[in-house]
């Protein structure tokens, strides 16, 4: 396997292999001489994803090159396919790509170059799903039967779409809780075990709640009445965070957090928040995925 474009490519044994590598990197540090040239192509904003890939690649002994979308020939209308053929001709070995367009990486799936999908539109974000599952495995030991709840902007979330597929492969149970306006009408809810409208009932059901950012940039009209109301009806208020803690439950968020919308400002890094642990694990999982692509060549 030379590309990770979708969670669908991963078997449970691939996942285990990636987790084992990540665990070793976390324990012993990331140190390798893979000696590749990688382009970081981020056609959408990013802080943690881009920097964690960059750090991971550099520790693996690869050189990283930034592709700036604003000043690239894609602005002049060059397709992704032509851009990647150009980079391949220049001798680059791999690409980490984030794009606002669902499924755009299909264009380059047959090219002989390594690729990691760092998020395509509302479609997939496989490394974030791996980070979240790995973080849960560290806490709970095993994901089998674990009840994981996604709260919020299910409709526009690639983190949810990849997460659902990955967690089902690991035999976890997945629930959702969202206002009707943020629930998908397509088939992406296939495989969801529970569909809640009431956050209190949802939090009582789950072992861990993953709060999702309201993706305003993808919505062409406002889909929540007000941010204050949203926090009250679907957000993690201090009372709800306390409820989770009292019952030994945890909460997560892939970031970036809208404080006082998805989570009360004072609870973002509160006790039982796994948010910074997700960020920390991001570097190890991304290093593990790239190392995995090198070791599964051919
Ligand atoms: C997510 C993304 O870009 O999909 N962020 C991330 O990668 N950590 C989630 C988001 O933007 O809400």
What are the structural domains, with CATH classification, of the chain? Answer: 3-125+279-295 (3.40.50.1370), 127-277 (3.40.50.1370)
Of 175, 151, 159, 125, the closest CA to residue 224 belongs to 151
Q: Is 282 in the pocket of ligand 1 (CB under 6 A)?
A: no
Q: What's phi and psi for 119, nearest 5 deg? A: 120, 115
pLDDT at 11 over 80: yes
Structural Rg of the chain based on CA atoms: 19
pLDDT at 294 over 90: yes
Give tens-digit pLDDT for 179-233.
Answer: 999 999 876 677 899 999 999 999 999 999 999 999 888 887 878 878 889 999 9
- Give the tokens for residue 116: 């990691």
Distance CA 183, CA 195 (A): 10
Of 170, 173, 232, the closest CA to residue 200 belongs to 232
* pLDDT score recorded for residue 225: 79
Q: Which has more confidence, 70 or 198? A: 198
* pLDDT score recorded for residue 18: 98
* pLDDT score recorded for residue 224: 84
Q: Is 159 in the pocket of ligand 1 (CB under 6 A)?
A: yes
**Mean pLDDT of all residues belonging to the chain:** 95
Q: Is 213 in the pocket of ligand 1 (CB under 6 A)?
A: yes
Q: Is 48 in the pocket of ligand 1 (CB under 6 A)?
A: yes
pLDDT at 269 over 60: yes
pLDDT at 4 over 90: yes
Atom of ligand 1 nearest to the CA of 44: 3
Distance CA 114, CA 297 (A): 10
Q: Is 127 in the pocket of ligand 1 (CB under 6 A)?
A: no
Distance CA 34, CA 32 (A): 6
* pLDDT score recorded for residue 187: 62
- Ligand 1 pocket, mutate which of 40, 120, 157, 254 (most atoms under 8 A from CB): 254
Cis before residue 243, ω within 30 degrees of 0? no
Of 285, 293, 297, 298, the closest CA to residue 20 belongs to 285
HSE-up (13 A, CA, CB side) for residue 19:
22
Query: Once rounded to an integer, what is the mean pLDDT over residues 24-49?
Result: 96
Of 170, 144, 143, 138, the closest CA to residue 274 belongs to 138
């Amino acid at each position: 396997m030379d590309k990770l474009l979708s969670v669908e490519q991963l078997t449970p044994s691939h996942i285990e292999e990636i987790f084992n590598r990540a665990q070793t990197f976390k324990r012993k540090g990331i140190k390798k001489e893979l000696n590749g040239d990688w382009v970081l192509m981020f056609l959408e904003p990013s802080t943690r994803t881009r920097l964690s890939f960059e750090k991971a690649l550099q520790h693996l002994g690869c050189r990283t090159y930034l592709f700036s979308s604003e000043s690239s020939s894609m602005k002049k209308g060059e397709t992704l396919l032509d851009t990647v053929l150009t980079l391949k001709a220049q001798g680059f070995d791999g690409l980490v790509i984030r794009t606002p367009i669902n499924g755009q990486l299909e264009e380059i799936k047959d090219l002989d170059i390594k690729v990691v999908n760092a998020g395509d539109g509302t479609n997939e974000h496989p490394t974030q799903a791996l980070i979240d599952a790995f973080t849960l495995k560290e806490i709970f030991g095993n994901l089998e039967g674990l009840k994981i709840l996604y709260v919020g902007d299910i409709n526009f979330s690639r983190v949810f779409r990849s997460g659902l597929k990955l967690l089902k492969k690991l035999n976890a149970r997945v629930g959702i809780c969202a206002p009707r306006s943020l629930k998908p009408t397509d088939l992406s809810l296939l495989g969801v075990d529970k569909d809640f409208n009431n956050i209190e009932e949802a939090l009582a059901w789950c072992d861990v709640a993953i709060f999702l950012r309201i993706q305003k940039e993808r919505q062409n009209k406002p889909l929540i009445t007000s941010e204050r109301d949203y926090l009250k009806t679907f957000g993690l208020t201090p009372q709800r965070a306390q409820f989770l803690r009292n019952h030994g439950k945890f909460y997560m968020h892939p970031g970036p957090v809208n404080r006082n919308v998805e989570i009360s400002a004072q609870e973002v890094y509160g006790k039982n928040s796994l948010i910074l642990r997700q960020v920390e694990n991001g570097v190890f999982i991304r290093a593990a995925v790239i190392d995995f692509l090198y070791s599964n060549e051919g």
